[in-house]
Amino acid sequence: MTQKPPRRGTALRLHRQLERIWSPDPRFRGWLTTNNNNDVGRLFLAVATLFFVIGGLLAMLIRAQLATPGSAFMGPEAYNQVFTMHGTVMMFLFAIPFFEALAVLLLPGMLGTRDLAFPRLGVYGLWVYIFGGSAVIVAMLMGLSPDGGWFMYPPLSSAAFSPGIGADVWLLGITSIEVSAIATAVEIVVTVLRYRAAGMSLSRMPIFAWYILVVAVMILTAFPPMILGSLLLETERALGWPFFQVENGGDPLLWQHLFWLFGHPEVYIIFLPAAGMIATILPVMARTTLLGYGWVVAAAVSLAVLSFGLWVHHMFTTGIPHLGLAFFSAASTLVAVPTSIMIFSWIGTLWKGRVQMKLPMLWLLGFFATFVIGGLTGVMLAIVPFNWQVHDTHFVVAHLHYVLIGGYVFPMIAAVYYFQPLLTGRFHYFRLGAVAFWLVVPAFHITFLAVHVVGLLGQRRRTWTYDEGQGWELLNLIASTASFVMAIGFALVILDIGITTFSGLRGKRNPWGATTLEWAAPMPSPAYGFASIPIVRGRYPLTDDPDLPQRIARGEGYLADTSRNRREALIVTTTTGKPLQVAVMPGNSALPILLAVVTSTSFLAPLVQAYWLSALALVGVVIVALVWVWTTAPRQSEGLVDAGHGARLPVAAESPDPPGWWGSLFLLVADGVHFGSLMFGYAFLWTVAPNWPPPSYLVPTLLPVLLALGGAAALAAGPRLAARAVATGHRTALALVLSLFGALSLATAAASVMLARQDPAGHAYDAALWLLAGHVGFHAALAVIMLGYLALRRISGHGLRVGEARIVSLWADFTAATGLVALAAAWLPGTFA
Amino acid sequence: MTNILRLALPFTIWLIGFSAIYALQGLTCSRHWPEELEPRLALIGGAAVFVVIQGLALAALLALQSQSRFVQTAATILGTAALAAALWTVLPVLTITVCG
């Protein structure tokens, strides 16, 4: 950093200036307009914890019911709702949002930046999650819960066997929460890749950032199949499109494929952030560095991808050919390799260090003792004959709780205790946390070891009661009693953290002696995070330069100049961390919560058959999104700005690859996987659904084919020409008209498919054609809106930026490519039949 | 970004290859499969192509060195592991009944 001696009072003056620029509105409405990661993360964390409490109470109801044979505590209907909601709440409303909350809170500090890449997107994700989650809980309180299990298998979840709106609440509520998760994932990926401290190359990134990057990419690729599955099931329930009805060309196994294409990676989406926390906390507790950093990164990457190749191991009893079973059994056993690398890296880290038995360490030891057992029972379940024996028994219940509570909840509690001083500036002084640990961990093992055994003895899961005389009574009673002790322990943890947050002792900075950047910020972290963007020269910046916190506070890093009076962050090159651009961050706004309101309305209105309201809300989504983009786009060119240290950098929004381009790229990854899942579903039905071929195939005529080919070419070329015209100062009108023609031609070709097959409820083939055409039509409409935005910018005299045109070009390319593939898939069977 | 793709490449190829072999197996057992074509031969051929591509990916990662030593090491580990994973997961093609 610069060698000039600092002036007295520089740090305080800088702090005041940055506070003025970055602080949210101090009034109550500040909670609705803030987009600061500290506020968003805290709210996320509080809401996720509330859902954990609700999920835990539901678990207690389950154990109360199963404590004795023939219990009259609950009837079968209530029990079905309770276990469905327990799984749903824990998986969708607690586990994923909780680690996202920690990522939102901690990532900017760890990476040495001031906020996440798209602060407003984070707020939007938060509120969509709150609205969607609340809808699911309100439905439960009204007795309208889904009762088909958290996996919602048809035909059980179909309109015939699950009448009422319970299943619809699940499908629409959960889909909106998945949209929220995808929004946060895009934000996280772009932040990790682009928003880091100067000099923070890939090899210097904190290990948690690696894990969370991997997980965010997994969310982008795992959630779309589930969103598609929900869309298919909801259209079947609401409109009668028979995707899962065998008699009309559907196949219920398609749901299982789509669900587990999401569901299995989901387990690793939950485990890997916890693993990232372990890899972060353990070296600090052992007063050493992580053993085998590169190996752990490689293990995380391989585990993430492997997890996508295991989905069929949840379907071993569905009659899949033996060769298919063998494929997935082999792939499932592979997972043990990267997991073991991580476990041995952590054990090695403990071995080479000097362990401090502090509270976070205690919970990490709880993790080791529990997760390894869960992993081993996982390998047992990967073996097909054993899997067949214990399928749908309580053995599987015990296995997944060992993995999820041992592998996720315990490390997350360790993380909360570890980061509490950083987030609140306070330390715990009661020994309540240790007492809670000694209640939770032994009680957990007693509960779920008993559940393992009762499962091996044959007790079925998801069954509301059991008869006497099967040898299950004592084990169930032990499990239930211990589970209540465990619940008391968890309540103590929450109480302990609550007490400490509001009345703990204030303490010194970096109490654990950590080596990563987040501990260089003041405690608790101010809204701006760092007074200046740090410069790092190693993987452990606080070890390399113990004075770094003071230097940052004095403004000796990048972007310490506040004279531009706006929120700024540094964008760096992905590999080397070299300063590249200056990002201007948006200020406080109510737009994200407004967009969340209209988005959630469009999702949830169909629950009460208010389709008109859903359509109206969708128009609202478009309008608010346009206002959002319009108000954040720069009005005039600034050229290069001074970033400090002699660096003059372009403003990101004026560059050819602005943050929006990166965000679009990763959003399109999710969109591409959604489209791929749609193609997979269509191919699956075509290949194995019993009532295929359909009575007749669609035979294309020449005009729609020409429209599709010409439209795709024009749509791909138009925005590209527009971007080139902007760069060279030429007129863009012709290029925009060409693009518009392309989008409309593609939409017309898609409409021709729908017009030719007017009864999507007749056969799954027709329903699939409507969905393919719908994909093309939706994206063509999106392209038209984007082109309209560009035209409006040009007409209003705001001028177009190359980056904006390139963003539209990216979407247009995707629309053209997937449009052609979708229409080819619709037309080819009829052409060759 | 190229370096991130370098890390993602080996197991992405594994995932695509693995899914393709599973899809091919589904196809060989479906109504669309021509009777004159021996399913196991097709599967062995597909598996061989998969393993060769995985091997070529490793060779390419070794030949086209990254400027970042960390990325190069991690990519080599991942490339080797993905090749081993490919060999392990296609083994059933040689031993198990195809459509039984």
Picking from B1, B11, B15, the nearest residue to A574 by CB comes out as: B1
More confident residue, A39 or A523: A39
pLDDT (mean) for A603-623 = 93
- State the smallest CA–CA distance between residue B58 and chain A in angstroms: 14
Contact B77 A574 (CB under 8 A): no
pLDDT value at A127 more than 80: yes
pLDDT of residue A40: 93
| Rounded Cα gap, residues A616 and B58, in angstroms | 52
**Distances from the Cα of A265 to the Cα of A12, A165, A192, A233, B77, angstroms:** 47, 28, 21, 21, 22
The whole-number average pLDDT for the span B69-95 is 93
Distance from CA of B95 to the nearest CA of A (A): 9
Superfamily in which the A659-832 domain is placed by CATH: Cytochrome c oxidase, subunit III, four-helix bundle (1.20.120.80)
Q: State the Cα–Cα distance between residues A572 and A201, nearest whole angstrom.
A: 9
B95 neighbourhood in chain A, CB within 8 Å: 326
Contact A607, A169 (CB under 8 A): yes
pLDDT (tens digit per residue) in A363-383:
999 999 999 999 899 989 988
Separation CA A355–CA A359 (nearest Å)? 12
B55 Cβ under 8 Å from any chain A Cβ:
no
pLDDT (tens digit per residue) in A96-109: 999 999 999 999 99
Query: How confident is the model at residue A164, as a pLDDT?
Result: 87
CB within 8 Å: A575 and B8: no
* Backbone phi and psi for residue A359, each to the nearest 5 degrees, phi listed first: -60, -45
Closest by CA to A223, choosing from A155, A159, A276, A270, is A270
Give the rounded distance of the alpha carbon of A105 from its chain centre: 15
Which positions in chain B touch A302 (Cβ < 8 Å)? Answer: 11, 78, 81-82, 85
Write A659-662 long-range contacts (CB < 8 A, 24+): A659/A117, A659/A118, A659/A190, A659/A194, A659/A571, A659/A583, A660/A803, A660/A804, A660/A807, A661/A803, A661/A806, A661/A807, A661/A810, A662/A117, A662/A190, A662/A193, A662/A194
Q: Using CA coordinates, name the residue in chain A closest to B3.
A: A575
The model's pLDDT over A237-246, given as tens digits with 9 standing for 90+, comes to: 999 999 999 9
- Tell whether B35 lies on the interface with A, counting CB pairs under 8 A: no
Mean pLDDT, residues A301-312? 92
In a mutational test of the A interface, the residue from B30, B66, B96 whose CB has the highest number of chain A CBs within 10 Å is B96
Instruction: Indicate the residue of B11, B30, B31 with minimum beta-carbon distance to A305.
Output: B11
CA dist B18 to A330, B25, B32, Å? 11, 11, 21
Q: Which of A731, A658, A673, A527 minimizes the C-alpha distance to A218? A: A673
The answer to whether B74 contacts A297, with C-beta atoms less than 8 Å apart, is yes
Sign of the torsion formed by the C-alpha atoms of A581, A582, A588 and A590: negative
Q: Is the pLDDT of residue A496 over 80?
A: yes
E strand or H helix at A649: strand A647-650
pLDDT in tens, A731-783: 888 999 999 999 999 999 999 999 999 999 999 999 999 999 999 999 999 99
Closest chain A residue to the Cα of B2, Cα to Cα: A575
Q: Among candidates A169, A140, A139, which has minimal Cα distance to A157?
A: A169
Contacts of A688 in chain B (CB under 8 A): 26, 30
Inter-CA distances, A144 with A128, A160, A296, Å = 21, 16, 45
Q: Extract the tokens encoding A277.
A: 């926390």
Going by C-beta distance under 8 Å and a sequence separation of 6 or more, which residues neighbour residue B86? B14, B17, B18, B50, B51, B54
A633's torsion region: left (phi>0), alpha (psi -120 to 50) or beta? beta
Rounded-to-integer distance, Cα A558 and Cα A641, Å: 12
What is residue A787's predicted lDDT score, i.e. its pLDDT?
94
Q: Is A80 helix (H, G, I), strand (E, B) or coil?
A: helix
Q: Distance of CA A810 to CAs A645, A717, B83, Å?
A: 35, 11, 33
**Segment among A155-169, A190-204, A421-435 with least mean pLDDT:** A421-435
Q: Can you give A569-629 as a three-state secondary structure string? A: EEEECCCCCCEEEEEECCCCCCHHHHHHHHHHHHHHHHHHCCHHHHHHHHHHHHHHHHHHH
How far apart are the CA of B69 and the nearest CA of chain A, in angstroms?
A: 9
State the residue for tokens 């002696």. A513
Check B26 against A308: CB less than 8 A apart. Answer: no
Residue B30 has pLDDT above 80, yes or no: yes
Average of per-residue pLDDT across A412-424: 94
Mean pLDDT of chain A: 93
Band of residue A2 on the pLDDT scale cut at 50, 70, 90: very low
Structure tokens at A377: 């029972």
d(CA B10, nearest CA chain A) in Å: 9
B70 shares contact with chain A (CB less than 8 Å): yes
A203 chain-B contacts, CB cut-off 8 A: 68-71
User: What's the mean pLDDT in B73-91?
Assistant: 94
Find the residue in A nearest to B21 (Cα).
Answer: A327
Contacts of residue B18 in chain A, CB cutoff 8 Å?
A: 309, 327, 331
- Cα A143 to Cα A82, A425, A605, A694: the distances in Å are 10, 42, 19, 40
Count residue pairs from A and B with Cβ separation < 8 A. 115
Flag whether residue B74 sits within 8 Å of chain A, measured between CB atoms: yes
Q: Give the ipTM of the model, two decimals please.
A: 0.93
Task: Give the residue from A204, A301, A315, A679 with the most B CB atoms within 10 Å of its CB, the best one to mutate.
Answer: A301
Tell me phi and psi for residue A7, to 5 degrees: -80, 150
Q: Is the confidence at residue A428, as pLDDT, over 80? A: no
The pLDDT of A215-235, averaged and rounded, is 96
pLDDT higher for A5 or A612? Answer: A612
Using alpha carbons only, how large is chain A's radius of gyration in Å? 27
Whether residues B78 and A683 touch (CB distance < 8 A) is answered with no
Instruction: State the Cα angle at A352 between A347 and A353, rounded to 5°.
Output: 95
For residue B77, list chain A residues with Cβ-Cβ distance below 8 A.
Answer: 294-295, 298
What's the confidence (pLDDT) of residue A210? 97
User: A-side interface with B, Cβ within 8 Å?
Assistant: 193, 201-203, 217, 294-295, 297-298, 301-302, 304-306, 308-309, 312, 321-324, 326-328, 330-331, 334, 337-338, 574-576, 683-684, 686-688, 692
Taking CA atoms, what residue in B is nearest to A301? B8
| Angle A721-A723-A728 from CA coordinates, rounded to 5° | 90
| B88 inside 8 A of chain A by CB | yes
| Residues written for chain A | 833
As a whole-number percent, the residues of chain A with pLDDT over 90 amount to 82
| Residue whose tokens read 């294309």 | A700
pLDDT per residue over A15-35, tens digit each?
A: 999 999 999 888 888 889 999
Answer yes or no: do B1 and A306 touch at CB < 8 A: no
Please determine, for residue A439, whether its predicted confidence score (pLDDT) is greater than 50. Answer: yes
Which distant-in-sequence residues (6+ apart) come within 8 Å of A25 by Cβ? A33, A34, A588
Chain A residues inside the 8 Å CB shell of B43: 323
Alpha-carbon distance of B4 to A297, in angstroms, equals 12
d(CA B79, CA B59): 9
Q: Do A683 and B23 touch (CB under 8 A)?
A: yes
Rounded Cα–Cα distance for residues A32 and A120 (Å):
11
- Interface check for B22 against chain A (CB to CB < 8 A): the answer is yes
Contacts with A680 (C-beta within 8 Å, 6 or more apart), sequence order: A225, A257
Q: CB-hemisphere CA count at 13 Å for A47? A: 23
Q: Under a CB-based contact definition with an 8 Å cutoff, are residues A90 and A128 in contact? A: no
The answer to whether residue B50 neighbours chain A at the CB level (below 8 Å) is no
**Which pLDDT score is estimated for A489?**
97
Q: What's the pLDDT at A1?
A: 47
Interface test with B, best of A188, A327, A828 (most B CBs within 10 A): A327
User: Does residue A24 have a cis bond before it (omega within 30 degrees)?
Assistant: no
- Environment class of residue A180 by beta-carbon count within 10 Å: exposed (0-12), middle (13-18) or buried (19+)? buried
Please tell me the predicted confidence (pLDDT) of residue A637.
82
Architecture of domain A275-507: Up-down Bundle (1.20)
Domain borders along chain A are 275-507, 515-652, 659-832
Sequence letter at residue A112: G
Residue partners of A349: CB distance under 8 A and separation at least 6: A282, A283, A286, A288, A289, A290, A291
pLDDT greater than 80 at residue A168: yes
Residue B94 has pLDDT above 50, yes or no: yes
Tell me the range of A310-324, B23-37, B69-83 where mean pLDDT is highest.
Answer: B69-83
Quick one: which of A440, A479, A481 has its CA closest to A457? A479
Q: Which residue has the higher pLDDT, B1 or A793?
A: A793
Report the gap between the CA of B32 and the closest CA in chain A (Å): 7
**Does B96 sit within 8 Å of A298, measured CB to CB?**
no
| Nearest Cα residue to A228 out of A252, A261, A184, A270 | A261
Exposed / middle / buried, residue A95 (Cβ in 10 Å: 0-12, 13-18, 19+): buried
Helix (H) or strand (E) holding A784, with range, is helix A764-795
Q: What are phi and psi of A193, to 5 degrees?
A: -75, -30
Per CB-CB distance under 8 Å, the chain B contacts of A312 are 22
Query: Taking CB atoms and an 8 Å cutoff, what residues of chain A touch B81?
Result: 298, 302, 337-338
For position A793, what pLDDT does the model report?
A: 87
Predicted confidence at residue A3, as pLDDT, reads: 46
Q: How confident is the model at residue B100 (pLDDT cuts 50, 70, 90)?
A: confident
